[in-house]
Amino acid sequence: MFARSIFLALCVAGSPVLAQDYPDRSITFVVPYPPGGTIDRLARELADHLAQDWDQAVIVENHAGGNAAVGVQNVLGAEPDGYTLLIGGGSTHSVGPATDENLTYDPIADFTPVAYLGDTPMVLTAGPSFDAADLPAIVALSSGGEDLTYGSVGNSTVLAGELINRATGTKLRHVNYKQFGPVLIDLVRGDVDMAISSLSIVIGNIRQDMVRPIAVTSTERSPLLPDVPAMAETYPGFEVLIWFALFGPADLPEDIRTRLHDETDAFLNDPARKERWAQESFNLRPRSAEEFTTFIAADVAKWQQAAEEAGLAAK
């Protein structure tokens, strides 16, 4: 009888964590970005929501640096038990791996996609003195041999320009900047024709009529710019998003993944919360687990191809 009790105890101790027991201690969200940004604030709001629902602490830790690689490493080595999770996105899973040769992890094999959180589109803007008023006019100018330029900051916006070139047949030429402030100055002065940035960065300048929006890179128009067409209206299927999501380490048990996904979706589906975040140019967008998995695979492939065509692919 004593031996049987020991055997049963060892079986229980060695068995995977089950959803009905999860969580029974604090959970850590690793945010590989500095405090105070959009995704950091969203992570903390989600953490508070889960902590109240589950009566367990959910701790947010910021581990910025190395193009988000520092934070990612904290999750790669974690036990796949649902207690250490990553708030990642395009920088950690698609653009970063496609362009940064120092990132040695596999964005598909080394993580379990748990829940898509949301996204914001990029926007193509033009300076006040730029002649073309819309995308067809820009395509016509480029086809006629005009040397058209766009300013941007970071590989994601460089590659967004390459994706626009591929879709439209244009040859927009990239001008690299380290910060968006100088991009804006040169755009207003006419030193560059256009700029590509996240909508959240430039929405204030658009509202002040400093720059003119040409198109957003989401499949639908932004509610903040209802008169500005989406690229997909002219080029069906075109979509470039700055997105964020919740990931676990590889081999996260399916029942724990499901519980995290369902609780996160309940958080995202709150109408008042969705409206509040939409006013900040960020769309809370729950996806099913299957949709999220499919999205990740397609996004990784899309940015890898764009990086190769732009000569920015990691060696």
The pLDDT, as a whole number, for residue 159 is 94
Q: Residue 255: phi, psi to the nearest 5?
A: -70, -35
Q: H/E element holding 312?
A: none
The pLDDT, as a whole number, for residue 10 is 39
The pLDDT, as a whole number, for residue 268 is 98
Same fold, 18-119+241-310 and 121-234: yes
- Whole-structure pTM value: 0.89
Q: Which of 193, 197, 139, 125 is nearest to 168 (CA)?
A: 139
| Fold of the 18-119+241-310 domain | D-Maltodextrin-Binding Protein; domain 2 (3.40.190)
The pLDDT, as a whole number, for residue 66 is 82
CA-to-CA dists, residue 315 to 99, 105, 157, 194, 201, angstroms: 8, 14, 20, 30, 31
The pLDDT, as a whole number, for residue 96 is 92
Q: What does 231-300 look like in DSSP terms, one character per residue?
A: HHHHSTT---EEEEEEEEETT--HHHHHHHHHHHHHHHT-HHHHHHHHTTT-EE----HHHHHHHHHHHH
Tens digit of each residue's pLDDT, the chain (315 residues): 334 333 333 344 444 555 568 999 999 999 999 999 999 999 999 999 999 999 999 999 999 988 788 899 999 989 999 999 999 999 999 999 999 988 889 999 999 999 999 999 999 999 999 989 999 999 999 999 999 999 999 999 999 999 999 999 999 999 999 999 999 999 999 999 999 999 999 999 999 999 999 999 999 999 999 999 999 999 999 999 999 999 999 999 999 999 999 999 999 999 999 999 999 899 999 999 999 999 999 999 999 999 998 888 987
State how far the Cα of 269 lies from the Cα of 259, in Å rounded to an integer.
Answer: 15
Cβ atoms of 106 and 100 closer than 8 Å: no
Q: What is residue 200's three-state secondary structure?
A: helix
Cβ atoms of 90 and 242 closer than 8 Å: yes
Amino acid, single-letter form, for residue 159: L
CATH architecture of 121-234: 3-Layer(aba) Sandwich (3.40)
User: Residue ranges per domain, the chain?
Assistant: 18-119+241-310, 121-234
Structure tokens at 267: 């958080």
